[in-house]
Structure 1
């Protein structure tokens, strides 16, 4: 067989997507979900490898714009649905797809690629670095109380059907983009995917519910959630499963959390994808009863190092020469002078002496400001070649707001 990936034709999509489903466990999604995935598919960015009439490998990407430190929305390829059939492993198929995909991303002028890894061990060798973490929590609302900020009682809460207030939900989400690295601007039809609600999506919980937070008639926040009822001999102990919560002000956030804490017949608020600096952590009476833990989130791959580093701003002035290693995308290898501050940056080729040496994977890890260069140096992943360069660059690359990637793709 030939291992060269090729673009999938619309007539081949059912076969192609069937192999995606099989690779991720084989449980078919609801017809509504499958149809929506087809609608948002960018066929010229959808790849397959075929062995005769059988599709044996898949990969896709989407034309996103992602918020980076400083608030700009950088063109970014959203990589998704990558799979190789178990019958066709160790033949170089995955490497061929990654090669084809990254070459295409470069040709499109997108300086970054991003993915959510189902198996993190796969992507480091292709230059992707873990750039954010996500917070998980199961809050014991029978024992944990909230101390809300002054003015919270001025917020009005209103229940609504998610599809009827989708425009309000999306407006709040859009207002968050400049202030949170890692957020992805919605493409057409992707808003529908965020509120898709079929019995298969519920896992025994209620249909998707929505509550809006309003101040003087303006929507300032929302929460999307499900309730999963449960009973013990001592009484009800249901769970509120939070899908998404966004708010543009502290009082709106606190009012929504207080509402979730007070839903009848429940004793747990469970969340699986929140920013690690989520503000409710400073409102709870007992963080030990919140079962906090974190896991890896966004994986970032600088496709064009110069353009990627120039797309963001820097927390402190920086002027540093980076010696970059990139075996998979050799056009990035070599020395780059990064100069920038909070107002903007440039990153150009140079022959000057290097101050720091690292691989493109480490650049991906620190790109959104969620991990310090200092930590990577302590792990032996970054080498300081000029005294003082590490401290200055580590400060500059940081972000006051933790990166977060709640947008599923």
Structure 2
């Protein structure tokens, strides 16, 4: 390999994005989306792989803070814009960028790195494990009813919730305030950094696939905004009548009542028979409110691929559902500073993770730690797959319970 890695220069930004677009099929993003990425890109955290005077590889890393079990926000690198030109595949370009990037992330003091993968098979060899999943639903609203708890009183009573339509831009501040309050409630959520509040409002006409411009409905109670849904409507019809689709972009609510009221609104939009909801958490309460889950056509996909860049720092940053005292033998050939034995002790109040010479209780790679870190994948499940090896009887069950999460991890924030 003759490529040289350099930090992205301001003069090369357009070429850098052109190369990303080419690697992903050659379709240019809308001008407004490209302008936003220009404002958000951390140039000093972005890399170019040059073969002479030809740019052949790209990668970048945003600076985020992610909620981990226990509610703490942990510095996390959001890996993005990774591409290699087809002329230079299988020549070590990606491996060299990934190694340099992880060394940089460690130097920046960020114990975690995450990405969303266009091809999930690629990143496991660099230590990334699948830490969160999404569900996608296509709901037959003309055949599915929302079934509220008997009496629909208390938290589920929707009579006190007022719904109000708003222009998405006019409602941005209110929606962001709701989102900010939701971040600490679920592992995997990212705190919105300055400028990122523009991303959910991107609505280029070429990306609507026949749907309307973006719309917004606010849920209000007690004089404050307690929820919102951003959506579009894709009209359709047949001889028997209209059969449009409500395309849900995002929905957040602070109370069960606001949550239920928003979904009821989406189900009842005129001239529609479907709601498409992509990228929802795997434990979405809607699954327990619908009358017929089969007609919700639920499917599952991977979402956040997570890597522990600093094993000790990452494991000490979260809390644990049950007391845990376990020694991990960690394999990490790609980031050798993580390899070796680590003793984790912790509970619901806090944790520490230090180097040790004590005998290992469990052996695994850093990839499995990434998968289990947010509580969405159990260590016991990985053990049954042969990915975690137990040296002390009972250690796997103890650690698996401790690593769990009361709510499924979820990452609705794209990058």
Structure 1 length-normalised TM: 0.99
Matching of residue 232 in structure 1 with residue 238 in structure 2 = yes
Matching of residue 261 in structure 1 with residue 271 in structure 2 = no
* Structure 1 position 23, deviation (Å): 1.3
TM alignment of 1:77-156, pairs within 5 A? 77-148=77-148, 149-150=152-153, 151-156=157-162
Matching of residue 3 in structure 1 with residue 3 in structure 2 = yes
* Structure 1 position 295, deviation (Å): 0.6
Rounded to whole Å, the distance in 1 between the matches of 2:376 and 2:218 is 30
TM alignment of 1:28-107, pairs within 5 A? 28-107=28-107
What is the match of residue 398 of structure 1? 404
Segments of 5+ residues of structure 2 without an aligned counterpart are none
What is the match of residue 375 of structure 2? 369
Pick the aligned partner of 2:202 from 184, 188, 196.
196
Rounded to whole Å, the distance in 1 between the matches of 2:285 and 2:200 is 23
Q: Which moved more, 1:195-204 or 1:34-43?
A: 195-204
User: Would you say the 8 A contact 1:137–1:272 is kept in 2?
Assistant: yes
User: Would you say the 8 A contact 1:112–1:301 is kept in 2?
Assistant: yes
User: Would you say the 8 A contact 2:117–2:305 is kept in 1?
Assistant: yes
Q: Which moved more, 1:143-152 or 1:389-398?
A: 143-152
* Structure 1 position 55, deviation (Å): 1.3
* Structure 1 position 359, deviation (Å): 0.3
Rounded to whole Å, the distance in 2 between the matches of 1:54 and 1:121 is 27
Rounded to whole Å, the distance in 2 between the matches of 1:332 and 1:383 is 18
Rounded to whole Å, the distance in 2 between the matches of 1:331 and 1:52 is 32
User: Would you say the 8 A contact 1:156–1:215 is kept in 2?
Assistant: yes
Matching of residue 350 in structure 1 with residue 362 in structure 2 = no
- 1:122-155 per-position Cα deviation (integer Å, ceiling 9, x unaligned): 0000000001110110000000000234311211
Structure 2 length-normalised TM: 0.97
User: Would you say the 8 A contact 2:175–2:228 is kept in 1?
Assistant: yes
User: Would you say the 8 A contact 1:68–1:182 is kept in 2?
Assistant: yes
* Structure 1 position 193, deviation (Å): 1.2
User: Would you say the 8 A contact 1:3–1:92 is kept in 2?
Assistant: no
What is the match of residue 224 of structure 2? 218
Segments of 5+ residues of structure 1 without an aligned counterpart are none
What is the match of residue 25 of structure 1? 25
User: Would you say the 8 A contact 2:61–2:79 is kept in 1?
Assistant: yes
* Structure 1 position 71, deviation (Å): 0.3
* Structure 1 position 18, deviation (Å): 0.4
User: Would you say the 8 A contact 2:229–2:251 is kept in 1?
Assistant: yes
Q: Which moved more, 1:337-346 or 1:50-59?
A: 50-59
Pick the aligned partner of 2:366 from 348, 360, 364.
360
Matching of residue 327 in structure 1 with residue 324 in structure 2 = no
- 1:91-119 per-position Cα deviation (integer Å, ceiling 9, x unaligned): 11000000110000000000000000110
User: Would you say the 8 A contact 1:112–1:308 is kept in 2?
Assistant: yes
What is the match of residue 306 of structure 1? 312
* Structure 1 position 54, deviation (Å): 2.3
| Secondary structure in structure 2 of the residue aligned to 1:115 | strand
* Structure 1 position 271, deviation (Å): 1.1
What is the match of residue 167 of structure 1? 173
Rounded to whole Å, the distance in 1 between the matches of 2:126 and 2:175 is 36
* Structure 1 position 318, deviation (Å): 0.3
What is the match of residue 257 of structure 2? 251
Q: Count residues with an aligned counterpart.
A: 409
* Structure 1 position 53, deviation (Å): 2.8
Rounded to whole Å, the distance in 2 between the matches of 1:391 and 1:60 is 38
RMSD: 0.8
